[in-house]
């Protein structure tokens, strides 16, 4: 919907700019004719002076507005490209990265977080808000999306600028924490859980408690994103079944996933 609106705005802008070009051309021709007419009326001005005055006046009168106009047009084009690229890479509702952009960026950043021992390390966390499904059913889709926007806002304020946030499904988010250890990742999850639980959420005037299920993996070696997501999804499910609110696992070349679950 947002992309279609942007395209319509672009078409309208092109038509408007075409009209400005035609009007500008007409004004430039008219101005040139007027200047030449006035120059040739003055008998006290010799031909050389007339030509020099016309050569300076006409280009200056035409070029300055046109250069200003071109500058404005380039700025609008730059803004349009930025909005188009943003829309292509972000979830339109929560404005965090969409699934494809999130996966691409995580794969790029995963190889950057290297320890002194030469190993890739960090944390990957999935946050599921099953309550969003209930809100969708009882109050409508827009209220369910409003609850996800609330969760996304809390996540943004709880992580570092270098961390990556993405929407993985209609009720879950992923967070990639490059270079983070178990304590840091657990602290992030706990901050998010507490902030969401303590912030009142009203749907059609009804107070609803937003409960999150959080799972994560601490990796200390190369691991593909799909394997990280599989491990973390298992942790989220185990946390949900076991009544835990946060549960982490650890992965390394020597140590395959082994539960580091913690109940908060």
Residue pair 193/244 in contact (Cβ under 8 Å)? The answer is: no
pTM value is 0.69
**pLDDT recorded at residue 153:** 95
- Tokens (6 digits) for 139: 């109050």
Provide the CB-side half-sphere exposure for 180 (13 A, CA). 25
Structural contact between residues 213 and 240, judged by C-beta atoms closer than 8 angstroms:
yes
C-alpha of 198 from chain center: 27
Structure confidence at residue 66 (pLDDT): 74
- Model pLDDT, residue 258: 46
Please report the pLDDT score of residue 38 as a whole number. 61
What pLDDT sits at residue 192?
Answer: 94
Close Cβ partners of 245 (under 8 Å, ≥ 6 residues apart): 193, 212, 213, 214, 239, 263, 264
φ and ψ at 132, to 5 degrees? Answer: -60, -35
Q: What is the pLDDT of residue 102?
A: 93
Residues 6+ apart with CB under 8 A from 53: 35, 39, 45
Exposure b/e, 172-209, CB count within 10 A at least 16 = b: bbbbbbbbbebeebbebbbebbebbeeeebebeeeebe
Q: Given this model, what pLDDT does residue 219 score?
A: 83
DSSP state of 43: T
Contacts of 50 (CB under 8 A, 6+ apart): 39, 40, 42
pLDDT of residue 259: 43
Three-class SS state of 150: helix
How do residues 77-105 score in pLDDT, each as one tens digit? 899 998 999 899 999 999 999 999 999 99
pLDDT reported for residue 62: 67
pLDDT value of residue 56: 66
Q: How far apart are CA 62 and CA 16, in angstroms?
A: 19
Contact call for residues 155 and 145 (beta carbons, < 8 A): no
pLDDT of residue 130: 84
Distance CA 97, CA 88 (A): 9
pLDDT < 70 positions in the chain: 1-21, 23-25, 27-62, 111-120, 221-222, 251-264
Q: To which residue do tokens 């500058």 refer?
A: 71
Sign, Cα dihedral of 189, 194, 197, 200: negative
């Amino acid at each position: 919907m947002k992309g279609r609106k942007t395209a319509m705005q672009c078409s309208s802008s092109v038509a408007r700019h075409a009209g400005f070009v035609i009007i500008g051309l007409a004004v430039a021709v008219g101005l040139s004719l007027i200047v030449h007419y006035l120059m040739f009326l003055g008998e006290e001005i010799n031909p050389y002076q007339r030509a020099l005055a016309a050569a300076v006046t006409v280009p200056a009168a035409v070029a300055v507005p046109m250069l200003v106009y071109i500058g404005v047009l380039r700025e609008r084009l730059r803004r349009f490209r930025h909005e188009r690229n943003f829309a292509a890479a972000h979830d339109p509702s929560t404005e965090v990265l969409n699934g494809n952009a999130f996966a691409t960026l995580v794969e790029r950043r995963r190889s950057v977080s290297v320890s002194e021992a030469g190993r890739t390390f960090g944390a990957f966390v999935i946050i599921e808000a099953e309550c969003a499904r209930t809100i969708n059913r009882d109050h409508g889709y827009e209220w369910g999306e409003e609850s996800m926007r609330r969760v996304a806002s809390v996540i943004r304020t709880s992580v570092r600028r270098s961390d990556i946030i993405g929407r993985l499904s209609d009720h879950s988010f992923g967070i990639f924490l490059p270079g983070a250890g178990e304590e840091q990742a657990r602290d992030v999850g706990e901050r998010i859980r507490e902030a969401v639980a303590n912030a009142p959420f009203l749907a059609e005037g009804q107070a609803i408690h937003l409960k999150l299920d959080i799972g994560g993996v601490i990796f200390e070696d190369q691991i593909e994103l799909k394997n990280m997501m599989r491990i973390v999804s298992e942790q989220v499910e185990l946390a949900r079944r076991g009544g835990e609110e946060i549960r982490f696992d650890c992965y390394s070349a020597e140590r395959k996933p082994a539960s580091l679950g913690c109940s908060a």
